[in-house]
Amino acid sequence: MNALGVVSRRLCAGVAGRVSGWSAHSLRPFAGITVSQIDEEVAKLLELKAQLGGDEGKHQFTLKTAKGTRDYNPKQMAIREKVFNTIIGCFKRHGAETIDTPVFELKVNDRRILDGMFAVCGVPDDKFRTICSTVDKLDKMSWEDVRSEMVKEKGLSEEAADQIGQYVSMQGGKDLAERLLQDAKMSQSKQACAGLTDMKLLFSYLELFQVTDKVVFDLSLARGLDYYTGVIYEAILTQNGPAPEAGEKGEEGVSVGSVAGGGRYDGLVGMFDPKGRKVPCVGVSIGIERVFSILEQKAEASAEKVRTTETQVMVASAQKNLLEERLKLTAELWNAGIKAEVMYKKNPKLLSQLQHCEDSGIPLVAILGEQELKDGVVKLRDVHSREEADVLRAELVEEIKKRIADV
């Protein structure tokens, strides 16, 4: 309604203002319209203008961001586009198909290993889920605080809590799974042994993919949701550069929290099947806003320019009165499939054009001058190194494509 009000006010004020500048009687009547009818309509517009308060600027209209939304500046949008392209590219590389689903939110563990561990440590069956949710807090709380909650708030015995503490401090890979299969207590649980056997198999596959250095088998990982039935995982970002958010550790190499998580759930989808059939599933959700926040902090802390456009070359001029030549060269580059940009001022200063490239992250500048036009060349400048070279006009497209392929 505010937008409509603004338009109506401008329309009425504009029309009434124009009409009030000369007599309506000097108008020739349109076909079927009398002068008196025109006078009547003009009077209505003038009356409406008076009601709106004229052009004194008394009415102020403030544009506000819609509730529950936010605006992103070009730098933030460039970061978001890069993140989404990376995620989408990774999923497509592994054969994923696109679906649209909301996101509610790598360490690796297995729910069966957790349940088996709780059983051999003496946790009563009716306390499995509540103790699991407490263990899940280990990435935010110290072991002492977690132990205190299990004993004082959840009613677990101190002996059982201490045994859990011995296990949840363990991290490793395939070797840890093999060691736990030989553990005197864990080997007593069929559930734990099934999970550990699958964990060994998982790390065998990870070895083939050559990514074992990026995955850790961590017995403290719990993922408190009840529907997980097998492997569970979380992607943990380690601090390296930008300052972490409030309440997080900031030393280099220290974890700053989970940015993705998921696991296997064999029974969840079947709950919606009339026949109750099991549908094994594995899913992951990505904390995309957290990723954005971290990358924005990193960009602010580093000297690296965040590109907000995809422009590959700026067409600039070194002297005055070369606007038409710049436009002509820009068109040539566009027709060759090169993303080119030009300042539309008639005589922009060369320094301003170069500074625009620095600020926007445009990698190349094609500079035209009177001498270059006479010689049939274009001066091609690398914005980063500031090196310049004369390139024949006929060879410019090929040279630019060669250079942007290396960027």
User: What pLDDT does 297 receive?
Assistant: 79
224-277, pLDDT tens digit by residue?
667 889 999 998 876 544 334 434 444 443 345 788 899 999 888 888 888 888
pLDDT surpasses 90 at 50: no
Which of 112, 113, 110, 156 has its CA nearest to residue 131? 156
Instruction: Report pLDDT digits (tens) over 127-144.
Output: 988 999 899 888 889 999
Q: Which amino acid is at 336?
A: A
179 marked as binding residue: no
pTM > 0.95: no
**Does the annotation place 223 within a ligand binding site?**
yes
Q: Is 80 annotated as a binding residue?
A: no
Long-range contacts, 50-55 (Cβ 8 Å, 24+): 52/9, 52/12, 52/13, 54/13, 55/13, 55/17
Here the tokens at position 338 are 């090169």
* Range from 102-116, 163-177, 389-403 carrying the lowest mean pLDDT: 102-116
Query: Measured between alpha carbons, how far is 78 from 254 in angstroms, rounded to an integer?
Result: 27
Residue 237 confidence (pLDDT): 77
- Exposure string of 191-203, with b = 16+ CB inside 10 Å and e = fewer, is bbbebbebbbebb
- Angstrom distance (rounded) from CA 39 to CA 19: 10
Q: Per-residue pLDDT tens for 273-302?
A: 888 888 889 988 888 888 888 777 777 777
State which amino acid sits at residue 120.
V
Contacts of 256 (CB under 8 A, 6+ apart): 237, 238, 239, 244, 245, 248, 249, 250, 294
Residue 63, pLDDT score:
55
Q: What is the pLDDT of residue 369?
A: 93
Candidate from 178-192, 233-247, 347-361, 377-391 with smallest mean pLDDT: 233-247
CA distance to 195, 205, 213, 235, per residue, from 209 (Å): 21, 6, 11, 17
- Do residues 306 and 75 make contact, with C-beta atoms less than 8 angstroms apart? yes
191-196: average pLDDT: 96
Q: Provide the pLDDT for residue 354.
A: 92
Give the C-alpha separation, 360 to 219, whole Å: 47
Give the three-state DSSP class for 22.
coil
Provide the pLDDT confidence category of residue 92 given band limits of 50, 70 and 90: low
Name the pLDDT band for 93 (thresholds 50, 70, 90). low
Task: Please report the pLDDT score of residue 317 as a whole number.
Answer: 93
The DSSP secondary-structure symbol of 376 reads T
Whether residue 108 is predicted with pLDDT greater than 90 in this model: the reply is yes
95 pLDDT band, cuts 50/70/90, is: low
